[in-house]
Amino acid sequence: MPYAAREDILGKLKKADRREEAPARPPLPPLTEVGWGTEQLIEKFTENLALQTGVVHRVADRAGALEKLTEIAQAEGWKAVMIATDEVLAPLDLAAWGRTNGIDVLKAADFTARDAFKDAVFDQVDAGITGVDWAVAETGTVALVHDERQPRLVSLAPILNVVVVPVDRILPVYEQALERILAARGGMPAHLNLITGPSMTADIQATPFKGMHGPRRVIALLIG
Amino acid sequence: MKIRTEQFVEIAREEMKNTRSKAFLGLLPPVINAMRQISLATFPDPDAAQAYGAAIRGEVVTRLPELLEEFERNATARGTKVVWARTAAEANAFVLDLAKKKGVAYVTKGKSMLSEEIGLNDALIDNGVDAIETDLGEFIIQLLKRPPFHLIGPAVNIAVEEIRDLFMEKGILAEPTEDPVALGYAARLYLRDKFHRLEMGVTGVNMAVAETGTIVNVENEGNIRFAKSSPRTQVSIMSLEKVVPTMADALHMIRLLCRNGTGQKMASYISFDTGPRAAGEIDGPEEVYCVIVDNGRADLYDDPVARDVFRCIRCGACANICPVYTKIGGYPYGWAYTGPMGQLLTPLLLGFSGTSDLFRACTLCGVCKSVCPAGVDHPRMLLYYRARDAAGDPRLRSRGRPLKERTLYDLFAWGATHPRLWRQGAKRMRPRVNRGARDGYLSRSVEPLDGWFRSRDLPEMAEKTFHERWKEREGHKAKA
């Protein structure tokens, strides 16, 4: 099939009469969010995530975040969690926090093979905890760049996803998050996700509910 | 999937009597339309946002080969293996062959209209590789072996009792329940194990970004993310019009797709793949294949009217608002594509013979065009199809109209262009025609004209023709 198929398809497309050029683009439509200030960004991020049943807690600093996390862990009865090791989570030293609170804090580096990691993240943890690369106020969205510190399944497989968001990482619109990601990495990362609230569906009798395949709940801890 | 488009009229008639379908069609589309309006209103200028989407898609159609080459170049540079397939058979053979080479017992499927178009599931299952739909709605209709009722909610009309019995029979549900949430949770647990052990995931593509070689998927459930995170092999299949020029364009189209499709400002998950997993990643695919499928599209590209169908982004806004779809539902369209977009796409892909009911079942009200975020001019295209079909265009696989109909219209044209004969004829025919009138209206006729009267009336022929009245009037004036 291979090369001939490519040549065939592109050949036909290029042979076509295309004198009828597409008209020039109209001006890019405006986005109101771009003008939002810091407090408004925090407010809108919270409001939009809450619309998707996301729960948002705002804490003053890292110590406050750990305190809140302990509260959540006790309420939920956590025994084990899987964490990312991104630069938002790293300074929190969740390993030490886990030892203090009697919670198994697992991370990708504890596993040498994909299958063992999958077993843990699918079946052995009560929650997945991640930081963010950026957050977007426009829709209460978090942007995660996936790499060795941010495994794909941490924010997906556990039934509860806790996401830690320093408020200075909240931007108005997706374009600004993407711009920063491209600048920092010199191009698109292998895998990027824009996550807005928990997994959901309305496929049975149009009854909406959360937690179809991914997390049923998302809790955001805003720091700052 | 068995194509049933030829039975459009029969199935439509049945569905209009189906109380379940009617109840859902009365309820669901108005709710989605209202949510669409509300979410579009979050744009400072919704019309400008829609128009910009149309401009992007128009540019895609004009620059299609160049954009595909740019996408291929950038995707390949990042390690994505780009594969081209001319036909459904070529695409299916590639995926099957890959599954065999990888030795996988099953693949999970993300919702993909293209895979239904090319019959990928059957091609895999018939050859010993299970293909498991994982979008909840698709999962249900795959088990029931039914066509989609709605683009976004393919099983939304299925009764909970039927889903309960189905899940009990298949061992998906332990205790019977009619609670939609509990049924959904049972499907979650069943499919979770499939995701956990997954070695090869197959998904569709919402957009392919030329500028960066990136594949974009838009979803709410998380099943597509699993298919791109858990297995070692990822296969993304796309029809060739899915490409967009830039990442900025993709973001704008994502905003439009979510608002127009489900009335959401944003779907739960938008995932972007640029090549296989990065060094050091513990999950994510070691290989990413992107299969670009033609399946007859390149042949249509030379037709400047028909190729506008490649603007479509499959949001389904046209169906939710269509006065025909909202009466008959998705089943009569008989294939993967329902509603006005199906009326445009199906005849082009399958040929006009056997699908001509699709482009005739339309009042040309134009409401589809008014909501389309991609600038598709549905009425213009449907009129064009009708004209090409009347002429019998072999490129569109149209057989032309039946001999009797053509002869009749030729006769009419001849009469209408010979005024004297026309007037004579009208005078002679009048008493014969009016004999069938009731209360001043004609409601039936003899074969082959009777079909026309199935849903129409004509006033009876007047005592005097316009020309006769005009002549009399001029005569009176002259006397006065």
**The last residue of a domain, from among B377, B401, B425:** B401
Lowest mean pLDDT among A152-161, B217-226, B437-446: B437-446
- Same domain (yes/no): B291, B389: no
Strands B207-209, B214-219: pairing kind? antiparallel
Among B98, B324, B11, B212, smallest CA distance to A189 is for B212
**The last residue of a domain, from among B274, B295, B316:** B295
pLDDT of residue B77: 98
pLDDT tens per residue across span B224-241: 999 999 999 999 999 999
Number of domains in chain B: 3
- Same domain (yes/no): B289, B327: no
How many interchain CB pairs under 8 A, A with B?
263
Q: What is the mean pLDDT of residues B368-393?
A: 96
- Same domain (yes/no): B222, B325: no
- Same domain (yes/no): B240, B269: yes
User: Residue A155 and residue A94: Cα distance in Å, rounded?
Assistant: 16
pLDDT of residue B316: 96
Q: Report whether pLDDT(B480) > 70.
A: no
Nearest Cβ partner for A5 among B86, B180, B188 = B86
Which pair of structure tokens corresponds to residue B462? 């007047």
Q: Which residues of B touch A20 (CB under 8 A)?
A: 62, 304
The pTM of the full predicted model, rounded to 2 decimals, is 0.93
Q: What is the mean pLDDT of residues B307-336?
A: 96
Smallest CA–CA distance from B305 into chain A, residue: A20
- Same domain (yes/no): B397, B411: no
B230: contact with A, CB 8 A cutoff:
yes
Q: Does B185 fall in a domain?
A: yes
Q: What is the mean pLDDT of residues A143-152?
A: 97
User: Residue B111 and residue B462: Cα distance in Å, rounded?
Assistant: 59
- Same domain (yes/no): B118, B258: yes
pLDDT tens per residue across span A166-198: 999 999 999 999 999 999 999 999 999 999 999
Q: Report whether pLDDT(A2) > 70.
A: no
Structural domain boundaries in chain A: 42-200+213-223
- Same domain (yes/no): B289, B352: no
- Residue B434, domain extent: 407-479
Answer with the residue of higher pLDDT: A220 or B23. Answer: A220
From chain B residues 87-126, the ones with a CB under 8 A of any chain A CB are 90, 93-94
pLDDT of residue A19: 80
Looking at the structure, give the CATH architecture of the domain made up of residues A42-200+213-223: 3-Layer(aba) Sandwich (3.40)
Q: Does B283 fall in a domain?
A: yes
Binned at pLDDT 50, 70 and 90, residue A1 comes out as: low
The proportion of chain A whose per-residue pLDDT surpasses 70, expressed as a percent, equals: 99
CATH number at residue B367: 1.10.1060
Q: Does B269 fall in a domain?
A: yes
- Same domain (yes/no): B228, B281: yes
Q: Does B239 fall in a domain?
A: yes
Q: Do B247 and A194 touch (CB under 8 A)?
A: no
**The last residue of a domain, from among B295, B320, B344:** B295
pLDDT tens per residue across span B284-307: 999 999 999 999 999 999 999 999
